[in-house]
Amino acid sequence: MKNYTAVISAVIAFAVTSLLGYIVIPYLRKLKFGQTILDIGPKWHKEKQGTPTMGGVMIMAGVIIAVAIGYTTSALSGERFSYELKSSYRLTVFLAGIVMALCMGLIGFIDDYIKVVKKRNLGLTARQKTFLQLLVSALYLVTLSVAGMKTTYIPFVGDVDISSGFGLLFWPVALMFIYGFTNAVNLTDGLDGLASSVTLVVACAFMLASGYLGLISINVVSASLGGACAGFLIWNAKPAKVFMGDTGSMFLGGMAVALSFGIGRPILLILAGCLYFIEAISVMLQVSYYKLTKKRLFKMAPLHHHFEMCGWSEQKTVFVFSFIAFIGCFLALLTVIYGW
């Protein structure tokens, strides 16, 4: 019997997320949870002032409901998803990843809440946000270590012992990796449909990778994330009716991290999540170059704003950036299929 749990979960996530738009968006408008567009951004973004934000709760709900229903139907039918989670290690990896992503989303929610309700445009302070993100990341890694994570896969090398010797360096590097990646996804969320489109591509890549590796639990979560991103795009594609806010972008970052650790190959995010890294690096280069020369390397950072300033439409930028993400994901999949 073929396993259709992932397909069912993707459809449910798409349906839940898209249908929630009819409820959540009017409610956000009623609460006047509108986005404040800062003056430092492109001037034409001012027309987006007041667009409801914190729509990331739609994605979070879509993923959680889809995974829950997927597990229930799998358990009732005796399919591999529920059977796989009888392993204490697989169950811990599965639950810890989802909880970590939800906690990242909660940090984003608090940040958004301060911005739109308390009228503090910058939300949480940099120190507060950094502390909370590092705390969540550290607890996630501790959980994986206690559960029995002893190796990590590196292309062209194979499984590397991370329980002793030089392998212990993996843990502090992983801590900064998770922190940096989550913020990189947050930086990518700057155009209508950009973060959700790129993450849809990334989710599909991990769905294929986990399916190839026979990890049904991660396969279902990946499918649910992809379905939720597709459902959100109905409302978030230009002209956006709602923004995901830090609530959504930080949840997406946490989910992508969880998927990479879930298949035992977090290093694949360097390829699969290459677009996120390009965006983050563009900001770091801009800041560093300006400090050294008092000149701008890009017309505006993150990089998607640079291309906007060069005359690209939002739709063109989203398409090109999503295609770049596709190329990175394709290369990541090759390392999985051919065991590089």
Answer yes or no: is pLDDT of 2 > 60: no
pLDDT digits (tens, 9 = 90+) for 281-304: 999 999 999 999 989 999 999 999
pLDDT of 31 strictly over 90: no
Q: Above 50 in pLDDT, residue 270? A: yes
Q: What is the pLDDT of residue 32?
A: 77
pLDDT at residue 57 greater than cutoff 90: yes
CA torsion sign for 233, 237, 241, 243 is positive
What pTM does this model have?
0.93
Rounded average pLDDT over 35-40: 56
Q: pLDDT tens digits, residue range 150-202?
A: 999 998 888 999 999 899 999 999 999 999 999 999 999 989 999 999 999 99
Q: Does the pLDDT value for residue 44 go beyond 60?
A: no
Tell me the pLDDT tens digit for each residue of 95-138. Answer: 999 999 999 999 999 999 988 877 666 678 889 999 999 999 99
